[in-house]
Chains A and B, each alone.
Chain A
Amino acid sequence: MRYAMAVDTKKCVGCSDCVVACQTENNVPIGYCRDWVVETVTGTYPDLSLEIRSERCNHCDNSPCVRCCPTGASHIIQGGIVKVTADKCIGCGACIESCPYDARYNHPEGYVDKCTFCDHRVAKGNDPACVAVCPTNCLYFGDLDDPNSSVSRAIKNRTWKVLAPEAGTKPQIYFLT
């Protein structure tokens, strides 16, 4: 089993509903977020192109955050989801430094917090909160090992990219272009 997400950059309108849904679902403290929306403008006027991406932890296959954690607080659970055990985390910040995507932050209570792919919802067969609320249905979540899952179908039929592949982390959020 390998959970992954696909983000359709052609359908995303940057409404930030995914961000609010995540903050509500996971009790994310005010001023912080586990997912966010990036708008990229490339080119020189009038030849501009716009890309909107809903970003979050890439739940990398080769995750530097898990590798550098001195206590084993950062770990990988079934399906490749990268998680943090709060009462093992010493808040040293090594994982935050090691993440090319800046996807982790120090929770005001001290430990490091991040996207969990809403594993508590996934365990019950639901989609992560961000996927469930997306009004344009631009987020696809599922098991890459299952060829019929929505994420497998999405990346099979479209061209896609991952962020900073040169960082060698094998990220698992696929951006459909």
Chain B
Amino acid sequence: MKEELFVSGRNIPGIDPSLAIWHWEIPLYLFLGGLAAGILFFAGLFKIMGKEKEMPAAVKWTPIVVPFALVIGLAALFLDLKHQLYFWRLYTTIRIESPMSWGAWTLLFVTPLSIVWVAVYIKDVFPNWRWPLKFIDKLVNALRPNMNYLAWIMMILAVILGTYTGILLSAFNARPLWNTGILGPLFLISGMSTAAASIILFSKKGKERKTFIKINLGLLLAELVTIVHLFMGYQAGSQSKLDAANLFIKGDFTHFWLYDVGFGMLIPALIYMLLLKFEKIPYMIAPILVLIGGLLFRIVMLDAGQISGFVY
């Protein structure tokens, strides 16, 4: 038996008895960041593949969500800061070792780029759209034939953004639940999965929808396999990793398996499989479950990660 207590009566808000410095703002941002990264990736990919006409939801419609997602995500990040007036300090330095610095700089480039992307295609989505200033119209028309270059830059930045949302957490070796190399790829896959789900919701073409149902199904299966790997890694790890995994196996987070894995991954994967065979099932349910599951996954990982730590 081991009992530890603070003689000095230490009870610092947000740190004792267990760490709770980050609240809803961070998982919301991680979700929106991953979603935005995935949507931009698919938009860029299908643009480069020359499938602008076959995949209008992926290339033109869904990206409209991205600037809103990023702005809401950035607002959440800003709200989380405790010394807000100094936020500009992020941009007076580049810290190679700090994932947060990488993320801040990536967002600085991705956000305007996503707005440019939406601006170029906005007339295809809303035919009555008129720019208030003529030069914007000219600029947008000049950019249009060069969108493949933009697509390449956007895809690279999207992968950095999507992976960074996971690496941000995995870089903290003090939190054994997060401190695993597989968290970056897992968050990227999960972000891509939520993006594919939102494209399914936007898609009006049966063929495009079917393609993304297949993509989302593949991503969900990849995510499930990665989660199995994640927990195998914990189970083969040191005491701190075992303790972290136990939060999910017998601790306060066993609901993860029901809500996140069950309703967020397994059930939508099953519905997608059925959708590929029978077209009459309503197609909206599964992608909505994937989106809710993606958000819940980040909330649970964040809360549980802050509880995990080293015992000494």
Seen from chain A, the residues whose Cβ lies within 8 Å of a Cβ on chain B are 14, 16, 19, 31-33, 35-44, 52, 64, 67-73, 86-94, 96-100, 102, 105-106, 109-112, 163-164, 166-169
- On chain B, the residues within 8 Å of A93 by CB distance are 21-22, 80, 82
Q: Are B81 and A92 in contact, with the CB atoms below 8 A?
A: yes
Chosen A-B contacts, 7 in total, with CB atoms closer than 8 Å, are A14-B7, A68-B171, A72-B93, A88-B89, A89-B86, A93-B21, A105-B15
B127 CB, nearest partner CB in chain A, Å: 43
- The SS class assigned to the B binding surface is loop
**What's the nearest-Cβ distance from chain B to residue A24, in Å?**
14
Provide the residues of chain A in CB contact with B103, threshold 8 Å. Answer: 70
Q: Which of A33, A68, A112, A164 contacts B312 (CB 8 A)?
A: A164
Residue contact A69 to B98, C-beta cutoff 8 Å: yes
Tell me the nearest residue of chain B to A88, going by C-beta. Answer: B89
Query: B85-107: contact bitstring with A at CB < 8 Å (1 yes, 0 no)?
Result: 01101101101011111011000
Q: Mark B residues whose CB is within 8 Å of A.
A: 1-8, 10-16, 19, 21-22, 80-84, 86-87, 89-90, 92-93, 95, 97-101, 103-104, 171-175, 238, 240, 306, 309-310, 312
- Measured between C-beta atoms, what is the minimum distance from A56 to chain B in Å? 11
Given A36-B6, A41-B2, the answer on whether A90 and B87 have CB atoms closer than 8 Å is yes
Residue with the greatest number of chain B CB neighbours at <10 A, chosen from A42, A68, A99, A109:
A68
Task: Return the chain B residue nearest A97 by Cβ.
Answer: B172
Q: Which residues of B contact A43 (CB under 8 A)?
A: 1
A106 with B7, Cβ < 8 A, contacts A40-B2, A92-B100 known: no
Residue of B nearest to A104 (CB): B15
Q: Which residues of A contact B310 (CB under 8 A)?
A: 100, 164, 166-167
Further pairs besides A68-B100, A106-B21: 16, Cβ < 8 Å: A14-B7, A39-B4, A42-B2, A68-B171, A70-B100, A70-B104, A87-B86, A91-B81, A93-B22, A96-B15, A98-B172, A98-B173, A99-B174, A102-B15, A111-B82, A163-B312
Chain A residues, CB < 8 A from B98: 67-70, 94
Known A33-B8, A99-B174, A163-B312; judge A106-B82 contact (CB<8 A): yes
Cα-based distance from A98 to B95 in the complex (angstroms): 16
